[in-house]
């Protein structure tokens, strides 16, 4: 094999590895009082905003808000407080359905309902998942006008199924 061909093959290999590396997922960590409490796996291109006890993961097909739920030991404990938990993003939330599910090997609650977006008051719908990881309860939420929340359900559920304790 001549030198030019070898250089081309090396270049193609390195470029391929760079593309594969850039397509990999990334770990998003939610911290409570400076201590990592929840890890989620998000697409590498996701935009992430976080603060104490909160993280927002924005992808091309959803904006997922995740909050730590203080003073709750189970998803059931957090259920009566769902409207309060999401009020920075969605107001006047009225649940119209709750289903049991499992996230991170523990019982969780999937809650759907209607209300208004907090930023502009437009009517809409929200979907929440209350779940437990490492003894902490979390609330994940997607919302929007019309059917935005239901269209974001599948990507939200896929991302929340990656929930685990950080190392």
pTM: 0.85
Q: Give the pLDDT band of residue 122 (cuts 50, 70, 90).
A: very high
> What pLDDT is stored for residue 9 in this prediction?
41
The region, left, alpha or beta by phi > 0 then psi within -120 to 50, assigned to residue 135 is: left
The helix, strand and coil proportions of the chain, stated in percent and rounded to the nearest 5, come to 25, 50, 25
> What pLDDT is stored for residue 21 in this prediction?
42
Residues in Cβ contact with 139 at an 8 Å cutoff, skipping those fewer than 6 apart: 66, 67, 69, 78, 82, 85, 86, 128, 129, 130
Rounded distance between C-alpha atoms, residue 136 and residue 6, angstroms: 54
List, for residues 138-160, the tens digit of each pLDDT value: 999 999 999 999 999 999 999 99
Q: Is residue 136 pLDDT above 90, yes or no?
A: yes
Domains observed in the chain:
25-160 (3.40.1000.10)
Q: What is the DSSP string of 44-71?
A: TT-EEEEETTEEEEEETTEEEEEEEETT
Residues in Cβ contact with 14 at an 8 Å cutoff, skipping those fewer than 6 apart: none
């Amino acid at each position: 094999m001549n030198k030019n061909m070898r250089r081309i093959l090396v270049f193609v290999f390195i470029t391929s590895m760079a593309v594969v590396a850039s397509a990999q997922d990334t770990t998003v960590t939610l911290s409570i009082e400076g201590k990592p409490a929840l890890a989620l796996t998000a697409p590498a291109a996701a935009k992430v905003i976080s603060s104490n006890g909160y993280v927002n993961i924005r992808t091309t097909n959803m904006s997922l808000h995740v909050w730590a739920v203080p003073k709750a030991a189970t998803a059931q404990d957090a259920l009566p407080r769902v409207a309060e938990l999401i009020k920075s993003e969605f107001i006047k939330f009225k649940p119209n359905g709750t289903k049991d599910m499992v996230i991170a090997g523990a019982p969780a609650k999937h809650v759907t309902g209607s209300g208004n977006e907090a930023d502009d008051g437009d009517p809409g719908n929200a979907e929440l998942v209350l779940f437990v990881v490492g003894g902490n309860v979390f609330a994940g939420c997607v919302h929007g006008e019309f059917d935005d929340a239901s269209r974001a359900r599948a990507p939200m559920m896929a991302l929340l199924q990656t929930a685990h304790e950080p190392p």
